[in-house]
Structure 1
Amino acid sequence: MFHRLPLMPVLFVGVLLAGGLAACDPDGLHSAERAGPFPYESPSDAADVSLDQALSDHGVRLPEGAEGISYGALKALDGYPFNLQFSMPCDGVPAFVQENRLTSAGKKTPDEVLTEIVDAGFTPDAGAAYLRAEGTKLPKVVGAVFERSGKCRMFLGA
């Protein structure tokens, strides 16, 4: 006949095993699945193409000195969702806008970048909004820019 093991020693062994597993994988069981294979890939967005490929496909050129770059791009999905954010000197925004054929769209934050803006701690509709100029053969791209501490944070989406 089988004998029941005392509950306390079993619980103690279980806690030790769980602690050992956590020490071997401090980011959790699926941490490798969350780590993106592409440089600059956002931890909250997935990408199945590199940043360079996504920029090329959407006809976007990053400005010199762009910092804090983060993006997501899923070419495999219908519509090819793409978002990009980065910081740059505010005096470079007009040249960036012109080079990427964006036009002013007032202050209404485009839906394509709304979530990223809120997640970054900015107030929607408080920054300048942009959209790809009509008549270009480039894919639709929208954006918004916000100033913080003397730098501008640009958010682009498609």
Structure 2
Amino acid sequence: MFHRLTRTPALFLGVLLLGGLTACDPEGLHSAEHAGPFPHESPSDAADVSLDQALSDYRVRLPEGVEDITYGARKALDGYPFNAQFSLPCDGVPAFVRDNRLVSAGKKTPDEVLTDVMDAGFTPGAGPAYTRAKGTKLPNVVAAVFERPGACRVFLGA
């Protein structure tokens, strides 16, 4: 009986503390750390530039009708890393590739997007890969495209 009395106050105190933490942070612990200032910013990739600015800097044009856009871009880091992913109808992929002066790079998923591809649950090498055509004087960009029911998922990286 003595053990039961000492556990009850500890359990009550634990419930009180948990309730207090939930009331102070209803979105979950550290939720503000993942909220970025830019629309479409990926929760896993920080950005210090907007998506429009990054697309402009890398001279990438997204077609009308893209959905589920997420991106990360860090001008403050050496090399200005940029990555984006989005969905579009698969019949729009050839125009996207052409408009952005991308050429086929086989099936090997480019290293610049490999982690994002695997994190999204796709099998590396299961979709076509693209790279910016040589001699275009445009910033180097790579892409990998994966078909899924109803749409294609495109992963961009630089």
How many Å separate the matches in 1 of 2:11 and 2:125? Answer: 54
Residues 8-87 of structure 1: pairs in structure 2 closer than 5 A: 9=9, 12-87=12-87
Question: 1:3: which partner in 2?
Answer: none
Q: Which amino acid aligns with 2:75?
A: K
How many Å separate the matches in 2 of 1:85 and 1:127? Answer: 14
Q: Deviations over 1:77-100 (max 9, x none)?
A: 001111010011111111110110
Question: 2:134: which partner in 1?
Answer: 134
Q: Deviations over 1:48-78 (max 9, x none)?
A: 1000000001110111100011100011000
Q: Which amino acid aligns with 2:56?
A: S
Residues 101-112 of structure 1: pairs in structure 2 closer than 5 A: 101-112=101-112
How many Å separate the matches in 1 of 2:61 and 2:110? Answer: 20
Quote the offset at 1:119 in angstroms: 1.0
Q: Which amino acid aligns with 1:116?
A: D
CA root-mean-square deviation = 1.5
How many Å separate the matches in 1 of 2:138 and 2:157? Answer: 13
Q: Which amino acid aligns with 1:117?
A: V
Q: Which amino acid aligns with 1:70?
A: T
How many Å separate the matches in 2 of 1:11 and 1:67? Answer: 47
How many corresponding residue pairs? 153
Q: Which amino acid aligns with 1:37?
A: P
How many Å separate the matches in 2 of 1:19 and 1:151? Answer: 43
How many Å separate the matches in 2 of 1:11 and 1:51? Answer: 48
How many Å separate the matches in 2 of 1:103 and 1:44? Answer: 29
Quote the offset at 1:29 in angstroms: 3.9
How many Å separate the matches in 1 of 2:108 and 2:14? Answer: 54
Q: Which amino acid aligns with 1:130?
A: Y
SS in 1 for 2:86: strand
Quote the offset at 1:28 in angstroms: 3.5
How many Å separate the matches in 1 of 2:25 and 2:84? Answer: 30
How many Å separate the matches in 1 of 2:81 and 2:36? Answer: 16
Quote the offset at 1:22 in angstroms: 1.5
Q: Which amino acid aligns with 1:96?
A: F
Q: Which amino acid aligns with 1:28?
A: G
Quote the offset at 1:24 in angstroms: 2.8
Structure 1: runs of 5 or more not aligned: 1-5
How many Å separate the matches in 1 of 2:117 and 2:92? Answer: 20
